[in-house]
Amino acid sequence: MYVSWASLALLSQLVSLGLAADTDAWKSRNIYFALTDRVARNSDDTGGDACGDLSNYCGGTFQGLQSKLDYIAGMGFDAIWITPVVANTDGGYHGYWAADLYSINSNYGTADDLKALVSAAHDKGIYVMVDVVANHVGPSAIADHQPEPLNQDSSYHSQCTINYSDQNSVENCWIDNLPDLNTQSSDIRSLYQKWIGWLVTEYDFDGVRIDTVKHVEKDYWPDFSAAAGVYTIGEVFDGDPSYVSGYGSLMSGLLNYPMYYPMNNFYQQTGSSQAMVDMYNQISSLFPDPTTLGSFLDNHDNPRWLNTKNDLSLLKNALAYVILARGIPIVYYGTEQAYAGGADPANREDLWRSSFNTNSEIYQAISRLSATRKSAGGLAGNDQTHLYVADTAYAWSRAGGKLVVLTTNSGLGSTGNYCFDTQVPNGSWNNTFGTGSYTSDGDGNVCVTVSNGEPVVLLAA
């Protein structure tokens, strides 16, 4: 049968589109969140002295990050979220102080370096998500901002201090004295839509993380998200599920701040598993698609987990929830090295001080959890079943019982025997986090043993 080259080209295009990084493709991904300035200084970085001033540039580069892709993939991550890449005003080591939307932050390297990083990640099957800010720009003279008309006062709201009890103030006043964009302006909206489409296309990004979403009026976001053309996940920094869910249909997904608080409360021994389950159920009823939400236990805006509760066994249980419960896992760089920095900037340590140790206890723990997620089929579905809710324990299943996870909050050194109904009669599983295997009886009941307070992760044999 004769097939024209044009037909083959069209077919190739359709196949490429089918592999594009849309929302469904992201649901089974596992994300490593990296501050570009803090990962690695060059392509030969094997470690060194800690950065002396975490409030300024420490020297991390795109080339350095590229050289650590195998280190990242070794934990089972198949996506990276990187901090904003645009040129920043002085001191913007983190990337959130934009100065010129169409230029790359030269402290990190060149535009070609960034393209090489993304290309290398793609060659390894790793998606790259870029962080962007559409609410504000960096703290410098308005006249210095690019492109036009960002160098004009009319592109910004009048300066005022945010009153967080007034949504209008939240949307129109200035965060930390950062010039607040006049996002109601059709010119500003068009500028940012054109820019985000260009940024994603120019650098071949697979996803976009959007900063400070609640600080911009809601009707701004659908067109901005659509212009990105890929999965977008927004930050609505608030623990109230009713408030956060109001943004749930405006972009592809959101960071799961509503779950962040009760989840950490339970695994840090200050809250109940029932509160966590109640929040899970609230999210189920309030959000259009809970599987698009990003699960996390800390980040660059919150103290590191171990700073609040210095217990590696408890951390492993929390990580088991993030990686194996419903949602898209996001793990903050340095977690794998048991970093324990407090509030910003102490929670933004350089990674090279760890010498990129792949034998560290938490690096290995994350690797095992990620491997189980993949072996269970990627866990993209809205298929979590609460199996056991107790004072010091929470167990759930995914994938129709193929995966059963028991977590506890008793902590380091604790042991225990836990019996519960898996809802899988005569099931058989291997413990992928520890050793041994388990079977359920004819009614689905199983008894598992917790050692040293670590999670029990059962994958169907």
Give the alpha-carbon dihedral of 149, 57, 339, 41, to 10 degrees: 110
Largest CA distance in the chain: 73
Distance CA 271, CA 284 (A): 20
Strands 86-88 and 98-104 turn out to be antiparallel
Q: Would you call 162 exposed, middle or buried from its count of C-beta atoms within 10 A (0-12, 13-18, 19+)?
A: middle
Looking at 100, 211, 336, 349, which residue is catalytic? 211
- Helix 111-123 vs helix 186-203: angle between axes, to the nearest 10 degrees? 60
| 217 flagged as catalytic | no
Bond preceding residue 329 cis, omega within 30 of 0? no
Looking at 171, 235, 298, 336, which residue is catalytic? 235
Tokens found for residue 18:
């089918």
Distance CA 186, CA 172 (A): 16
Phi, psi of 136 (to 5 degrees): -150, 175
Distance CA 21, CA 27 (A): 10
Distance CA 296, CA 288 (A): 20
| 211 flagged as catalytic | yes
Distance CA 211, CA 235 (A): 5
* Distances 237 to 54, 250, 256, 299 between C-alpha atoms, Å: 23, 15, 9, 12
Write out the H or E segment, with its range, that includes residue 450: strand 445-450
Distance CA 134, CA 86 (A): 12
Bridge partners (DSSP) of residue 437 are 430
Q: Would you call 167 exposed, middle or buried from its count of C-beta atoms within 10 A (0-12, 13-18, 19+)?
A: middle
Distance CA 426, CA 433 (A): 21
Q: How big is the chain by its Cα radius of gyration, in Å?
A: 23
- For 384, the 3-state DSSP assignment is coil
> So which residues are the catalytic ones?
211, 235
